[in-house]
Amino acid sequence: MNHRFLTISVSLILTHQHSQFGASAFTNTATGRLLLRRATAVRAVHVTSLPEFNSKKDYEDFVKAPQVSTLPKGFSCGSAVGTFVSVEAPAMGNLPIKATVISLDQPTDSWAACFTKNKFPGAPVIIGRSRLNADGPLQALVINNKVSNVCAGGDGVADSEQICAAVASALKLPMGPTSVLPSSTGVIGWRLPAKELSVDIVPKAIEAMQTLSAFPAAQAIMTTDRWPKIRSCVLPNSGARIVGIAKGAGMIEPNMATMLSYIFTDAIIPKDYLRKCLSEIVDESYNSISVDGDESTSDTVVCLASNKVALSSQEEWKDALTQICKGLAADIVRNGEGTGHVMRVTVSNYPGPNKDARRLGRRIVNSPLFKCAVKGNDPNTGRLAAAIGSFIGRESNGDDISLSDMALTLGGRTIFSKGKFILEGDAVEKELSNHMKDAEFNEHEEFPRHQRFVDIGVDFGVAPGNTNKGSAVVFGSDLTNEYIAVNADYRS
């Protein structure tokens, strides 16, 4: 456990309220008592977890609190909602669409981005890659939900550029439209309502710009998400702040990054270091999750630095960014469409590189049979072994991979060792089932009640030939009727 980040997490919750009210006044308020309980809870859980919540209001009060949602220095954001009629489905009538604008007070060269590898990328991804290759500064992001602007009729790139131009004009950006990065999420194949966005909704979003909180942006970028996702911290030595938001609930299987995520910091970070960090961290976080095995056409993660606060340690900043990205990645899975359990698969001593260990982890969490077993709190561990065996058998070097020392655990209990299951007795069956039940939550609730996992361990041991020692931690969801219901009626 990273105790340094635990310190960051606890100070995030406490320092703001102490500075405003003093310790005694803070602890005598309902909010103060709530946050103090939460701060204590943080010490007892993994750093990528949030504390437990009892209601949607409970959760939203927590993430709206200034110590969680305050934007870093130099950033502002605004959101607005409007309507449009889809050219492709006019019978659906007026449909809601939101736009969010996030801007810096001056252009920055310190930005990094990673995009989907899907061969049908959305027009905003095409533009984003172009901006990245051009290596110019950025000063704003513009994000819309409802329509992803992917493979639509007309000119999707021109439509996105029209919106970038509207942002640049309204904000009077000195570098013009090329300093605006667009993102879109929603229905694939529909044309972006560029006129409605650029003439009506984007100007309203800019009128609503404020420098206080990232919460409105986190809420506005949602589609089928059940709750907004925010992670943040203040580095104790420099005071630099990092705030991350994300959306994503379905079509989550990474090959970067299977959702939209935006991370803001006021730290002074060199561009090359920032890009190197983000590329590495993406593999450990957003590339290590899966809800349904489908890679989106619009995946984007962007990190922007306003370069206001000098760091005492770049490594400390990178550690904090890593924890925020891992936390957001886990939040996306827990918020997955219809998710009622989150699986956490830890692969150790894999006889290959880390990327192959991640592939194995994703094979496990994507197994329909095993996902259904988890949904039913059924410790049908044969399905776990079958998923592993299927993966290894299809690898080009599968015949050379020894499973003689492989051990499997579920909820910390060893269930397989030396080629045999260890499952004798009703007591073991009940223990494993109870572990799954303990991790269960209501797939209809609009807040994350808890942060527990169905914990699965796959350790290949030290058999001859297992020399590469690949490792990975992968998060995935179960499969419920609610997932089918959401995706059967997605467009409406």
- Catalytic residue annotation: 258
Check whether the bond before 220 is cis (ω within 30° of 0): no
Q: 224: how many CB neighbours lie within 10 A of its CB?
A: 18
**413-417 and 260-267 beta bridge pairing:** unpaired
DSSP-assigned states of every residue in 28-61: TSHHHHHHHHHHHHHHHS-TT-----SSHHHHHH
Give the 3-state DSSP-derived string for 290-340, with helices as H, strands as E and coil as C. ECCCCCCCCCEEEEEEEEEECCCCHHHHHHHHHHHHHHHHHHHHHCCCCCC
Q: Specify the amino acid at residue 470.
A: G
> What is the signed CA dihedral for 211, 215, 221, 225, rounded to 10 degrees?
170
476 beta partners: 290, 343
What is d(CA 415, CA 367) in angstroms, rounded to the nearest whole number?
Answer: 19
Token pair for residue 55?
Answer: 């209601």
DSSP 396: T
Query: What angle, rounded to 10 degrees, do the helices at 56-64 and 30-44 form?
Result: 90
> What is the signed CA dihedral for 348, 354, 360, 361, rounded to 10 degrees?
70
Is the CB of residue 227 less than 8 Å from the CB of residue 328?
no
What is d(CA 151, CA 142) in angstroms, rounded to the nearest whole number?
Answer: 20
Cβ-based neighbours of 15, under 8 Å, separated by 6 or more = 67, 234
Token pair for residue 444?
Answer: 């209809």
What is d(CA 247, CA 230) in angstroms, rounded to the nearest whole number?
Answer: 10
